[in-house]
Chain A
Amino acid sequence: MQNTETLELDILKEIGNIGAGNATTALSQLINARIDMNIPKVAILPFNELAEIIGGAETLVAGILLSLEGDINGMMLFVLKSTAAHMLVNQLMGCGQPPSPETGGFNEIEESALREIGNIITGSYLSSISSLTNMLIVPSVPYLAVDMAGAILSVPAIEFGKVGDEALLIESQFNDMDVDISGYFILIPTMESYKRMLHSLGM
């Protein structure tokens, strides 16, 4: 039993690794800068610790959510700190005003840019999972929310909550020259999709 679980975790880690690797390449091309990625950390965490990883339940973050259909049903969430989101947006648009600390201060154009960044990053992440498992994944358009980490993470936490008290988190740290931009991928397949996914990988 223990071995099966370890093996499943290893497979999930590997999926996370490949997905995040492709996402980094896509991001690097998008903002036309060299980006290094640390080896992603994959962890199964109790809900309470999920927000702590990102800096606490009240940390201001940007979350980009896509719902998934096809052979894998569920959700994909990409989270990054509001400050990191601003850095990416500024880099993409080649300009930017300092954000107002109160609201996170994304204007309409910046929000749209952020959605597009999320779309490209999660899209490349999902397509690598898709080709790895040979399963069709059809993502929805990206939805953006800028709010407290606890509130944003409640969305995946609730989904994981239906099957247990823990959630699967893949943390990828991007390094853009001397700035650290940490991004967090949370893939939430439905239970059936999860089984299908592991099955297609020979489990």
Chain B
Amino acid sequence: MANMIKVGMADLNICRAPDAITTLGLGSCVGVALYDKNTKIAGLVHVMLPSSKEVRQNQNKAKFADTGIDLLIQMLIKAGARRTALTAKIAGGAQMFAFNSNNDMLKVGQRNVIAVKAKLNSLGIRILAEDTGLNFGRTVEFYPATGNFVIKAVGKSIKTI
């Protein structure tokens, strides 16, 4: 019986096939799924903020794009995944409210996506697919058995990337 492992906000975890891993209601946060297709091990981190360096309270590593992805890679390697085999799929980073002000607080979704991409790029991890931006929330599920990243949104049909 396959389990669905839940990852909360500013949280991360790993799983292996046939289990799957999910995070619910991503808004401006970004869900980063890393996957080794040979060992069928996957990890998911729910990133809230672009950088641990901009914030003093940065003990919770899973909260940030930079430290969250690093920690997830460590966990995956420990579980038997190969660092060089890792690929990524990402989703989220929406702008939930249609603000047109210059308020920096509100563009965090976009900044999260940029930070996640920059971090993955610097590590040489290829992004195979993404479903980011726009203005709606997403629930995501990653299935290491197939490498499918399933995205559900309110009033939209289910999307697999």
Contact = CB atoms under 8 A, between A and B. Distances in A.
Contact of A153 (B27, B97, B105, B139): B27
Interface of A: 47-48, 50-51, 56-58, 60, 63, 65, 67, 74-75, 102-104, 140, 143-155, 157-159, 161-165
Contact of A154 (B96, B101, B105, B155): B96
Interface stretch (B3-11, B74-82, B117-125): B3-11
Interface string B1-41: 00000001111000000000000111111000000000000
B136 interface: yes
B155 A155 contact: no
A153 B10 CA distance: 13
A163 B103 CA distance: 18
A131 B140 CA distance: 44
Contacts of A161: 10, 48-49, 55, 63
B113 to A, nearest CB: 13
Given A51-B24, A154-B96, 20 more contacts: A50-B9, A51-B25, A63-B97, A67-B99, A75-B105, A102-B154, A104-B155, A140-B101, A145-B135, A146-B154, A147-B136, A147-B154, A148-B154, A151-B26, A152-B96, A153-B25, A155-B27, A161-B63, A163-B55, A165-B60
A151 B136 contact: yes
A147 B137 contact: yes
13 contacts: A58-B25, A75-B105, A104-B154, A145-B98, A150-B139, A152-B27, A154-B28, A154-B29, A154-B137, A155-B27, A163-B56, A163-B57, A165-B57
B150 interface: no
A38 to B, nearest CB: 26
Contacts of A74: 105
B27 A150 contact: yes
Interface string B94-108: 101111010101101
A58 B24 contact: yes
Contacts of B106: 67, 155
Q: Classify the interface of chain B: helix, strand, loop or mixed.
A: loop
Contacts, number: 119
Given A143-B97, A151-B94, A157 B9 contact: yes
Contacts of A163: 55-57
A164 B49 CA distance: 12
A152 B29 contact: no
B9 A47 contact: yes
B89 interface: no
Contact of A67 (B105, B135, B154): B105
Given A47-B9, A151-B136, A143 B99 contact: yes
A134 to B, nearest CB: 24
Given A158-B28, A165-B60, A67 B139 contact: no
Contacts of A56: 24
